[in-house]
Amino acid sequence: MGVIARWREYLPVGPETPELTLGEGDTPLVHAPRLSEQLGLDLYLKVEGANPTGSFKDRGMVVAVAKALEDGARGVVCASTGNTAASAAAYAARAGIEALILHPAGAVAGPKLAQARITGANIVAIDGSFDDSLRACLAVAESGSHVLVNSLNPNRIEGQKTAAFEICEQLGRAPQLLALPYGGGGNTVAYAAGFADARRGLPRIVSAESTQRATTVASAIRISEPVHRNDVEGTGATVVGVGDDELLEAWSELARLEGLFCEPASAAGYAALKRLRLDVDLAVCVLTGNGLKDPALVDAVAPADQALEAAS
Ligand code: F0G
């Protein structure tokens, strides 16, 4: 039914807000028996790659684009390492408005750009980093022609809170611990706010950032200056740095031991949990995006096909 219809009373929507949806939300919470045994706790994985464009961004994007429509906007603009772009492009197409996307040239996984291109989004490669792209975007938004749909738009955070509501519903309580990747920090802030709203208990939040923010192999979280750094500190989340080697190891374990193929950045929460070995019984790791979005690194962790030996 979509997150706006499902969680309407918790969201900044009213009778004038268009009923936009691509069927986002209501994603699986999958128990991970082998990883649970390794960690000595009960681990569940929130599979956000099951959202319509393959990442958690859809939860917030549907609210941000619906509100932009309600306000009469003709277009939306975002900077992106790929997932925000794919999501903004899809919801703008559905809403019948323009999506303008600025991205760091050469730094976005091909499938994510393909997702944005097929919708007819207006896509501009910026000669610089994600942080440079975001600055350029803010200037465009300032001029008033497009509504910014990066997570600086509070409607994005509001929509992303719904993942915490679902986890509480799926478990019948809040977990003791929630671990997730930390790029710009919007999702960490959204989960903290969501668990507070849900009133089913407050988990300790582990927010896992790359130790090599500017250069990590996980292109989704290749962000030098997290815009929500102060807000993340305010949530009381434990920020943990994970190296690329740890990240790739965690990523391949998720697939090898549990059959779940997420994108490399999405494994950061589990990588942090492996290192911390905290004394809790019930933990959730958020797998933020689908592995098909960024498959190039599979070569680094898994052998290629073996040629069939010719008989005799
Ligand atoms: N995981 C994935 C798969 C992401 O795409 C992102 C961010 C994050 C985690 C980090 O979330 O920024 O809320 O801390 N992707 C943004 C984008 C930057 O443009 O798609 P955060």
Please list the rounded mean pLDDT of every run of 10 residues in the chain (312 residues): 97 97 98 97 98 98 98 97 98 98 98 98 98 97 95 98 98 98 98 98 98 98 98 98 98 98 98 94 98 96 81 60
By DSSP bridging, strand 204-210 and strand 177-181 are parallel
Q: Cβ(251) to ligand 1 under 6 A?
A: no
Residue type, 201: G
Contact indicator for 24, 3 with CB cutoff of 8 Å? yes
Q: Cβ(209) to ligand 1 under 6 A?
A: no
Helix (H, G, I), strand (E, B) or coil at 309: coil
Nearest atom of ligand 1 to the alpha carbon of 150: 19
Q: Cβ(60) to ligand 1 under 6 A?
A: no
Nearest CA to ligand 1 atom 8: 183
pLDDT score recorded for residue 175: 98
Q: Cβ(2) to ligand 1 under 6 A?
A: no
CA torsion through residues 120, 125, 130, 131, sign: negative
Ligand 1 pocket test, pick from 59, 81, 207 with the greatest ligand atom count within 8 Å of Cβ, gives 81
CA nearest to 197, candidates 233, 153, 235, 161:
161
Q: Cβ(81) to ligand 1 under 6 A?
A: yes
Contact indicator for 285, 50 with CB cutoff of 8 Å? no
By DSSP bridging, strand 42-47 and strand 29-31 are antiparallel
Residue type, 284: V
pLDDT score recorded for residue 255: 98
Distance in angstroms between the alpha carbons of the first and the last residue of the chain: 58
